[in-house]
């Protein structure tokens, strides 16, 4: 296809040749050559715009997917305040949002089509929805992250608002190209020229309000987290005092302990606190209004989906549809937060106080007040200049405090909308219940045998002291943790349980290593639970004449057990001496379990002449001794982590095999593979049982973490662990434990030393 310039030249030549045009007309025609050339350039430059539109649609999809993921996560976990787990505010998400909102940023591209104008406004509605979804994620940040992200969000949103205002002024955002027949409502013909402009102005106001809400919330979050932290520490101290009074933690006591921390972590969650705030309610209402407005645009404006005339071509329709889906799905979470937060604290007293007194709590302005009272970060030579700057700072911060209070009051006024709806629904429910009682129908009859919920109210954390969580919410918290424990109970390690049933005591902890066997390594390397377990399993797996199912079942059982052994070691054995042994065990187990090898040697195919139990033990002992001596013979500077792990693993193998050989004395030749396997399995089960007696303390420790943002995940992991190991804890509860100090129970070397000195 020829260009505009070529066609124009041909037309001009034909006019000059066939029409005998005068010289003046000829010069005039050739004077428009530049315009034809510019038209060609514009056509060439606009070719990539179609792909840019597709790029915008893909970026919008990358924003929609995490919002939907948060929505599904909230429904699955019955968190109707929908915490931000996937769609959070960070550099990556803000970059994708900037790409998704390119249409409103485009200042000079002619958007004459119906679909073009709707897509531009739809991008603004989509931005409102995303900002409403991102609000709770502010609570997961520290002060530095908050400052960085709010500044980045402010730059993005202010740029967007300024660009839209310029387009409103220049007419890029307008309805002047639309036929008036599209806007007949109740026989009143709307002026098409003024249709899109007021909608764009409304969206600009919503975006500015959203930005103000985010800034206002970020100023309150820091102080709110401090309040929640102080209350959490009081609850934690109270629960620890109760735990110290218990001699042994049973399953029922652990359930109550987990429930207490579940309540503190849930109600004291920064995201939960933000979702229940007045700013979050206002953001939900604004999001609902922008969604309704966008739906109306789609219903009454987009009568012709093929009316796209911009350089983006049909990609504007793809953007419009994609972002419309994002607006509809993304608005569910912010709107639900409005009503969910009200249901958490709904009471007649709270509603009356909210309606009659728009009180601005101190935590909203405390951060600005701290800045006001702080000294200037730089010095001045002139005292007058210093006083003038200080007074200016006080005036500015006083103004900011006033603005902050005003924003909070406005948000509370906006919050009257969902409050009114909730009151109407509540009154209708009460009326229907009263009517049903008069008709002899009992609604919501409670079972007489329903268990009474434990009193969790002392563990409820709230920023406002005068706000009470409803009884229904506390029951929901109890049900949620019980539901999680029951769900985890179905995932209990059955193979591990079968192996533990073979244990009748803890003698294996004493028998796996003898004091008569001198260590090959020097001091400084402490034994851990996992290393002897892996070493004993390695010997058992290497026995060649056993049935494959028996060996596989042992591998599965030990694999399940090492998961919990690792938790015990991470909770208690965290010093450097223990960590290096744990690393050696982890590396060795990967080699044994996956590759069926021990330090490069294939198991069950050691060497042809090694076939009896005695020969296998002696082969492992000799190879391990040579490996340790080889590593010990190298210079310290030539040793690395891999060589140290090999040396520790080999030393463990040497000590265990030599101990087993000494235990049989002269009868070692008569020992069969089955007898050796039984002895190894017995020691493995005894060591596992001894280690897993620490599970109650692991669960209790896992409930608490010092990082406020990680408490929910930590308690969730504790409840999951409790559900999986309830049967194990019950099975070990009646066993007599050694008379060790409570702080020594988590260390295998302490157990081993106790049995070595106390048993004959």
Structure confidence at residue 68 (pLDDT)? 96
Alpha-carbon distances, residue 659 vs 62, 186, 515 (angstroms): 60, 96, 9
Residue 366 host element (H or E): helix 366-373
pLDDT tens for each residue of 721-737:
999 999 999 999 888 88
How far apart are alpha carbons 534 and 551 in whole angstroms?
A: 14
Q: Does the structure show a pLDDT above 70 at 634?
A: no
Query: Out of 21-35, 265-279, 495-509, which region has the weakest mean confidence (pLDDT)?
Result: 21-35
Query: In a 3-state reduction of DSSP, which class is residue 185?
Result: strand
Structure confidence at residue 349 (pLDDT)? 53
Q: Does the structure show a pLDDT above 70 at 9?
A: no
Structure confidence at residue 444 (pLDDT)? 44
Alpha-carbon distances, residue 341 vs 14, 273, 353, 460 (angstroms): 76, 9, 16, 15
Query: DSSP secondary structure string, 535-596?
Result: HHHHHHHH-TTS-HHHHHHHHHHHHHHHHHHHHHHHHH--SHHHHHHHHHHHHHHHHHHHH-
Tell me the angle at which helices 673-692 and 748-758 cross, rounded to the nearest 10 degrees: 110
Alpha-carbon distances, residue 316 vs 322, 491, 636 (angstroms): 10, 49, 67
How far apart are alpha carbons 464 and 341 in whole angstroms?
A: 14
Cβ 290 vs Cβ 261: under 8 Å:
no
How far apart are alpha carbons 537 and 517 in whole angstroms?
A: 20
Q: Does the structure show a pLDDT above 70 at 468?
A: no
Tell me the angle at which helices 471-489 and 251-267 cross, rounded to the nearest 10 degrees: 130
Residue 670 pLDDT class (50, 70, 90 cuts): confident
Per-residue pLDDT averaged across 146-160, rounded?
A: 95
Structure confidence at residue 449 (pLDDT)? 35
How far apart are alpha carbons 490 and 494 in whole angstroms?
A: 10
How far apart are alpha carbons 274 and 272 in whole angstroms?
A: 5
Q: Does the structure show a pLDDT above 60 at 1?
A: no
123 or 504, higher pLDDT: 123
Please give, one letter per residue, the 3-state secondary structure of 647-658.
HHHHHHHHHHHH
What pTM does this model have?
Answer: 0.82
How far apart are alpha carbons 663 and 684 in whole angstroms?
A: 17
pLDDT tens for each residue of 157-186:
999 999 999 988 887 776 554 444 444 443
* C-alpha torsion sign, points 380, 383, 387, 388: negative
Nearest-5° angle of CA 684, CA 687, CA 691? 135
> 598 - beta bridge partners?
601
How many Cα atoms occupy the beta-carbon half-sphere of 555 within 13 Å? 18
Per-residue pLDDT averaged across 635-649, rounded?
A: 73
Per-residue pLDDT averaged across 681-710, rounded?
A: 92
Q: Where are the alpha helices (DSSP H) in 135-195?
A: 143-170
Cβ 272 vs Cβ 298: under 8 Å:
no
Q: Does the structure show a pLDDT above 90 at 507?
A: no
Exposure b/e, 399-415, CB count within 10 A at least 16 = b: ebbeebeebbebbbebb
How many Cα atoms occupy the beta-carbon half-sphere of 167 within 13 Å? 30
Cβ 88 vs Cβ 283: under 8 Å:
no
pLDDT tens for each residue of 246-287:
777 889 999 999 999 999 998 888 898 898 888 999 999 999
Structure confidence at residue 443 (pLDDT)? 41
> 597 - beta bridge partners?
602
Dihedral-angle region of residue 596 (phi above 0 means left; psi in -120 to 50 means alpha; beta otherwise): left
Query: Out of 1-15, 206-220, 331-345, 597-611, which region has the weakest mean confidence (pLDDT)?
Result: 1-15
Structure confidence at residue 352 (pLDDT)? 57
Q: Minimal CA–CA distance to 628: which of 519, 759, 501?
A: 519
Residue 406 pLDDT class (50, 70, 90 cuts): very high
Q: Does the structure show a pLDDT above 90 at 739?
A: no
Residue 668 pLDDT class (50, 70, 90 cuts): confident
Q: Minimal CA–CA distance to 585: which of 690, 573, 698?
A: 573
Cβ 284 vs Cβ 418: under 8 Å:
yes
pLDDT tens for each residue of 309-355:
777 888 888 999 999 999 999 999 999 888 776 666 555 555 555 55
Q: Does the structure show a pLDDT above 70 at 604?
A: no
How far apart are alpha carbons 213 and 215 in whole angstroms?
A: 5
Per-residue pLDDT averaged across 629-643, rounded?
A: 66
Burial category of 635 from C-beta neighbours within 10 Å (exposed 0-12, middle 13-18, buried 19 and up): exposed
Output phi, psi for 615, to 5 deg: -65, -40
User: Which of 253-262, 413-422, 463-472, 501-510 has the largest mean confidence?
Assistant: 253-262
How far apart are alpha carbons 384 and 34 in whole angstroms?
A: 64
> 188 - beta bridge partners?
185
Report percent pLDDT > 70 for the chain. 79
Report percent pLDDT > 90 for the chain. 37
How far apart are alpha carbons 169 and 171 in whole angstroms?
A: 6
What count of residues does the chain have? 760
Q: Minimal CA–CA distance to 654: which of 554, 555, 513?
A: 513
How far apart are alpha carbons 37 and 261 in whole angstroms?
A: 73
Output phi, psi for 103, to 5 deg: -60, -50
pLDDT tens for each residue of 527-581:
889 999 999 999 999 888 888 899 899 999 999 999 999 999 998 877 777 888 8
How far apart are alpha carbons 171 and 176 in whole angstroms?
A: 9
The long-range contacts involving 165-174, CB below 8 angstroms and separated by at least 24 positions, are: 165/204, 166/107, 167/104, 167/107, 167/120, 167/200, 168/197, 168/200, 168/201, 170/107, 172/106, 172/107, 172/108, 172/109, 172/110, 172/111, 173/111, 173/117, 173/120, 173/121, 173/197, 173/200, 174/117
Mean pLDDT, the chain, as a whole number? 82
How far apart are alpha carbons 81 and 71 in whole angstroms?
A: 10
How far apart are alpha carbons 204 and 196 in whole angstroms?
A: 12
Q: How many helices (H) and strands (E) does the chain have?
A: 30, 4
How far apart are alpha carbons 184 and 191 in whole angstroms?
A: 10
Cβ 134 vs Cβ 146: under 8 Å:
no
């Amino acid at each position: 296809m020829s260009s505009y310039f070529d066609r124009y030249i041909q037309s001009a030549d034909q006019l000059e040749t066939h029409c005998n045009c005068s010289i003046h007309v000829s010069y005039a025609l050739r004077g428009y050559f530049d315009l034809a050339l510019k038209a060609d350039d514009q056509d060439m430059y606009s070719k990539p715009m179609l792909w840019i539109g597709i790029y915008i649609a893909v970026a919008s999809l990358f924003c929609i997917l995490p919002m939907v993921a948060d929505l599904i996560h909230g429904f699955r976990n019955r968190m109707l305040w929908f915490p931000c787990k996937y769609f959070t505010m960070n550099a990556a998400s803000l970059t994708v949002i900037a790409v998704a909102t390119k249409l409103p940023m485009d200042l000079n591209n002619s958007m004459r089509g119906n679909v073009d104008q709707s897509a531009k406004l739809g991008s603004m509605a989509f931005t409102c929805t995303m900002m409403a979804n991102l609000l709770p994620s502010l609570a997961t940040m520290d002060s530095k992250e908050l400052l960085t992200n709010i500044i980045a969000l402010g730059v993005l949103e202010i740029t967007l608002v300024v660009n839209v205002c310029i387009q409103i002024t220049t007419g890029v955002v307008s309805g002047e190209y639309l036929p008036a027949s599209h806007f007949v409502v109740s026989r009143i013909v709307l002026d098409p020229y003024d249709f899109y402009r007021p909608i764009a102005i409304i969206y600009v106001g919503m975006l500015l309000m959203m930005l103000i809400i985010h800034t206002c919330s970020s100023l309150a979050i820091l102080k709110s987290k401090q309040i929640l932290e102080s209350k959490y520490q009081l609850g934690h101290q109270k629960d620890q005092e109760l735990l110290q009074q218990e001699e042994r933690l049973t399953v029922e006591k652990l359930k109550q302990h987990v429930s207490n921390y579940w309540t503190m972590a849930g109600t004291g969650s920064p995201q939960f606190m933000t979702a229940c705030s007045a700013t979050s309610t206002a953001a939900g209402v604004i999001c609902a209004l922008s969604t309704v407005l966008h739906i109306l645009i789609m219903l009454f404006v987009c009568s012709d989906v093929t009316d796209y005339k911009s350089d983006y071509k049909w990609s504007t329709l793809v953007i419009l549809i994609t972002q419309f889906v994002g607006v509809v799905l993304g608005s569910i979470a912010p709107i639900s937060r409005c009503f969910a937060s009200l249901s958490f604290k709904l009471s007649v007293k709270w509603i009356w106080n909210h309606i009659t007194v728009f009180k601005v709590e101190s935590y909203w302005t405390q951060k600005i007040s701290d800045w006001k009272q702080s000294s200037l970060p730089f010095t001045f030579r002139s005292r007058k200049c210093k006083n003038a700057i200080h007074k200016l700072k006080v005036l500015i911060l006083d103004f900011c405090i006033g603005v902050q209070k005003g924003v909070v009051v406005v948000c509370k006024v906006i919050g009257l909308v969902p409050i009114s709806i909730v009151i109407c629904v509540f009154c209708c429910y009460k009326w229907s219940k009263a009517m049903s009682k008069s008709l002899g129908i009992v609604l919501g009859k409670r079972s007489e045998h329903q268990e009474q919920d434990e009193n969790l109210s002392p563990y409820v954390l709230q920023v406002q002291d005068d706000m009470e969580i409803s009884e229904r919410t506390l029951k929901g918290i109890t049900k949620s943790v019980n539901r999680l424990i029951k769900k985890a109970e179905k995932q209990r390690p059955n193979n591990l349980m079968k192996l533990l049933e073979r244990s009748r005591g803890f003698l294996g902890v004493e028998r796996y290593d003898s004091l008569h066997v001198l260590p090959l390594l020097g001091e400084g390397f402490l034994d851990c639970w996992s290393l002897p377990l892996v070493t004993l399993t390695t010997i058992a797996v290497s026995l060649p004449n056993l049935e494959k199912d028996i060996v596989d079942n042992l591998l599965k059982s030990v694999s399940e057990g090492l998961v919990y052994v690792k938790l015990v070691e991470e909770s208690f054995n965290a010093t450097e001496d223990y960590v290096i042994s744990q690393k050696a065990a982890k590396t060795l187990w990967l080699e044994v379990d996956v590759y069926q090898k021990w330090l490069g040697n294939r198991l069950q195919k050691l060497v042809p002449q090694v076939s009896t139990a005695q020969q296998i033990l002696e082969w492992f002992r000799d190879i391990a001794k040579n490996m340790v001596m080889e590593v010990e013979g190298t210079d310290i500077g030539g040793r690395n982590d891999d060589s140290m792990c090999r040396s520790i693993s080999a030393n463990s193998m040497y000590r265990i095999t030599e101990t087993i050989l000494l235990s049989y004395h002269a009868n070692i030749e008569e020992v069969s593979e089955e007898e050796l396997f039984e002895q190894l399995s017995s020691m493995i089960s005894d060591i596992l049982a001894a280690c897993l007696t620490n599970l109650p303390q692991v669960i209790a420790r896992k409930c608490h973490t010092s990082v406020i943002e990680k408490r929910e995940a930590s308690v969730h992991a504790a409840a999951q662990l409790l559900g999986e190991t309830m049967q194990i804890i019950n099975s070990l509860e009646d066993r007599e434990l050694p008379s060790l100090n409570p702080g020594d129970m988590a260390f295998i070397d302490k157990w081993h030393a106790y049995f070595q000195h106390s048993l004959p």
